[in-house]
Structure 1
Amino acid sequence: MTSSVSTDKAPAPVGAYPHARRVGNLLFLSGVGPREPGSNRIPGNEYDIDGQLIAYDIEAQCRQVFANVRAVLEACGARWQDLVDVTVFLTDMQHDFAAYNRLYAEHFTDAQPCRTTLGISALPTPIAIELKCIAVVNDDA
């Protein structure tokens, strides 16, 4: 069994892909960023008068990306505790890792999925963090 899932409780994907795809009891989330559902505003971003990004708040972005992952999971009938693997992309590993790691530990107290964190040069929108997740969903979900 395979099915795609989209939800208005999370920001719309920035491309032609679903929020998640379920294959059997595995749930694969597309990359989830910290944009706010509905408005697409990025928490903590500051722009100059020309619309160029001049500053961002990694803590605000972390909180929002975790909320967005939770929203996608819930739309799929899954829970935070069902996560088994999380890949995290940071655009400034040196500057942002400590704050992100602290907030990650606060959000993943009971659930302890495998995790990989990668430093990358850019993401497709002016965000500093994106998560790619895999969860295991109960057969009755």
Structure 2
Amino acid sequence: MDMNIIASSQAPKAIGPYSQAVAVGDWLFTSGQIPLDLEGNIVGSDIEAQARQVFANLKAVLAEAGTSLDRVVKATVFLADLKDFEGLNKVYAAEFGSHAPARSCFEVSRLPRDVKVEIELVVSLR
């Protein structure tokens, strides 16, 4: 099995021992992205600003892999508070447009750096 590690200089570095994304065969698996800028600072204090930064980071990782959001098959969203579901959906819908990949969304007890949202993707490279 050939694995290709994806590392974009246009997205924040991993804050732990993992890759931004890994391509295996026809699939790309991103690690969860949180709303950090390139210097590792949290961007935004509300769900919409944080979600926009998460998508900016995800798009940078996807671009490094030669793909984009229109190839996303599955998204997994982690929210610190499910009350942010509506605000997250506004940004999510704007980012994906008419493309509607499968999605799971969970409220979790805590996210890294106490951010409001984390998103990971599964992407078809074919």
- The answer, yes or no, to whether TM exceeds 0.5 is yes
Taking structure 1 as the reference length, what is the TM-score of the superposition? 0.85
Q: What is the identity percentage for the equivalent residue pairs of Structure 1 and Structure 2? A: 38
Alignment length (residue pairs): 125
Q: Partner letter of residue 72 of structure 1? A: V
CA RMSD of the aligned region, Å? 1.0
2:63 is aligned with 1:74: yes
Q: Distance in 2 between matches of 1:24 and 1:60?
A: 34
Trace 1:45-56 onto structure 2 (pairs within 5 A): 56=45
How far residue 32 of structure 1 moved from its aligned partner, in angstroms, is 0.8
Q: Distance in 2 between matches of 1:124 and 1:102?
A: 23
Q: Distance in 2 between matches of 1:102 and 1:124?
A: 23
2:22 is aligned with 1:34: no
5+ long unaligned stretches in structure 1: 45-55
Taking structure 2 as the reference length, what is the TM-score of the superposition? 0.94
Query: Bigger CA drift: 102-111 or 79-88?
Result: 102-111
Q: Which structure's CA Rg is the greater one? A: 1
How far residue 111 of structure 1 moved from its aligned partner, in angstroms, is 2.1
Q: Distance in 2 between matches of 1:124 and 1:62?
A: 14
Regions of 4+ moved over 3 Å: none
Q: Partner letter of residue 108 of structure 1? A: F
Q: Paired residue for 2:122? A: 134
Q: Partner letter of residue 76 of structure 1? A: A
2:109 is aligned with 1:108: no
Q: Partner letter of residue 63 of structure 1? A: R
Q: Paired residue for 1:12? A: 13
Q: Partner letter of residue 60 of structure 2? A: A
Q: Distance in 2 between matches of 1:109 and 1:123?
A: 27
